[in-house]
Amino acid sequence: VTGKRYIKKLVEDGVVDGWDDPRLVTISALRRRGYTPESIRQFVTLSGISKANSSSDISLLEYCIREDLKLKDKRMMAVIDPIKLVIDNYPEGQTEMLEVPNNLENETLGSRQVPFSRELYIERDDFMIEPPKKYKRLYVGNEVRLMSAYFVTATSYETDADGKVTVVHCTYDPETKSGSGFTARKVKGTIHWVNAATAGQVTVRLYEQLIDEEKGKLNADGTLNFNPNSLTVVNNCMVEPELMDAKAYDSFQFVRNGFFCVDCKDSTEGHPVYNRIVGLKSSFKLPAQA
C-alpha cells in the first residue's frame, strides 16, 4: 500500500499504529522495520526508471535487504516457540562455554562464547511425536546435532493435560563436540538452541503482507482487503544473553528464522522488541540481464 489516502485511512482506523508501522512501505516504516539505506538504494537501482506508471515486486525489496545483511549481521540463536530439552546424561550443575562463529560467510565478524548446560530450549517444531517420512529433526530414537555443540538422541518426552509436548528428554555423546574432529558418524539434521539458565525473554513480531494480494487489493465496496494475519506477536521468545542488550535499529540474523531488528518505539532497556525484517528464504530470482 503506497497511496497516501489508503495509508491515512489505515492509520485513522487504527489498523496500523502510525505512518511508521513496519507493515507499511513509507521511509519511516522501512527504517523502523530494519531496512538499510543501502538496501533501498539497491532496490531503486534494480527497479530502474520509467516514464510510465509502473510497480515493483515487493520480493525485489526483500531480496535487496537479504543481500545487504547476510554478510553484515551476526548469526545468533533465538528460539521463537520454545520447549525444554533436557540432556539426561549431561552433568547437573555444569556449564561450559562453546565457541560459536558469528557469521560463517564472514570470518571478520569473529566468534563468541555461548553457555551450554543440561537444560536448553529448542523450537517446538524441531521435535515431533509422529514425524513424516523425510523429517530430519528430533523424534524418539533419532540423533541430530545441536548447532556448534554435540550430537543428541531423543529418548522420551513429557506432555501437558492437552497432549502438548512440554519437555523433550535426550542423551548426548561427549565425543561429538563441534570442532573436535569427530568423523565416526554423521547426522542429517542440525537444530539451534539456547541455554535455559541464561536465556533472555523477548517479544518478537512476525509480519506478512498488509494486503491479501491473492484476493485482490480492494474489496467489492472499495475498501482495502486487509490481511488479518499481517502481524503475529510472540511474547516468549528465548534468546542468547547478548540479544538482551541490543539497541534500537540493531539487526541480527536469527539462525533459521530470518533477519530481525530492534524496534525503535516499543523496546525498553533490558526488554527489546524484535521486528522480523525478512525471512531467510525466497523463490525470487533477479531477472536475467538483457
Domain co-membership, 112 together with 162: yes
Asked if residue 29 belongs to a domain, the reply is yes
Q: What is the pLDDT of residue 121?
A: 99
Domain co-membership, 85 together with 183: yes
3-state secondary structure of 233: strand
Q: What is the DSSP letter of 218?
A: B
CA pair distance 228, 210, nearest whole angstrom: 8
Average pLDDT over residues 41-55: 78
Please say whether the beta carbons of 114 and 75 come within 8 A: no
How many domains does the chain contain in total?
2
Of 193, 197, 77, 202, the closest CA to residue 124 belongs to 193
Domain co-membership, 187 together with 235: no
pLDDT in tens, 62-80: 999 999 999 999 999 999 9
Task: Kindly state the cell numbers that stand for 166.
Answer: 512440554
Domain co-membership, 86 together with 185: yes
Place of cell 523433550: 168
Domain co-membership, 208 together with 190: no
Asked if residue 231 belongs to a domain, the reply is yes
Q: What is the DSSP letter of 271?
A: B
Domain co-membership, 79 together with 187: yes
Q: Backbone phi, then psi, for 243, in 5-degree steps?
A: -75, -15
Domain co-membership, 274 together with 227: yes
Rg of the chain in Å (alpha carbons): 22
| Burial tier of 153 (Cβ tally within 10 Å: 0-12, 13-18, 19+) | middle
pLDDT in tens, 225-284: 788 899 999 999 999 999 999 999 999 999 999 999 999 999 999 999 999 999 998 777
Average pLDDT over residues 132-154: 97
Task: Kindly state the cell numbers that stand for 107.
Answer: 570470518
**Parent domain of 52:** 4-69+200-239+246-278
Share of the chain above pLDDT 70, in %: 92
Domain co-membership, 18 together with 59: yes
Using pLDDT thresholds of 50, 70 and 90, give the confidence band for residue 208: very high
Of 22-26, 57-61, 140-144, 197-201, give the lowest mean pLDDT range. Answer: 57-61
Please say whether the beta carbons of 64 and 41 come within 8 A: no
Domain co-membership, 8 together with 102: no
- Report the relative pairing of strands 258-262 and 273-278 from DSSP bridges: antiparallel
pTM of this prediction exceeds 0.75: yes
Q: What is the pLDDT of residue 290?
A: 46
Q: What is the DSSP letter of 191?
A: E
Average pLDDT over residues 156-169: 97
Residue 200: pLDDT above 90? Answer: yes
Q: CATH number, domain at 146?
A: 2.40.240.10
Average pLDDT over residues 37-45: 94
Q: To the nearest 10°, report the CA torsion of 205, 208, 210, 212.
A: -150
Q: What is the pLDDT of residue 172?
A: 98
Let me know how long the chain is.
290
Of the three residues 195, 224, 259, the one that is the final residue of a domain is: 195
Neighbour count for residue 121 (Cβ, 10 Å): 23
Using pLDDT thresholds of 50, 70 and 90, give the confidence band for residue 45: very high
Domain co-membership, 185 together with 82: yes
Domain co-membership, 183 together with 214: no
Place of cell 542468547: 240
Provide the mean pLDDT of the chain. Answer: 92
Give the ranges where the chain is alpha helix by DSSP (H): 4-12, 27-33, 37-47, 58-69
Domain co-membership, 160 together with 213: no
Asked if residue 285 belongs to a domain, the reply is no
Task: Kindly state the cell numbers that stand for 43.
Answer: 532496490
Q: Backbone phi, then psi, for 28, in 5-degree steps?
A: -65, -35
Q: What is the pLDDT of residue 48?
A: 78
Asked if residue 153 belongs to a domain, the reply is yes
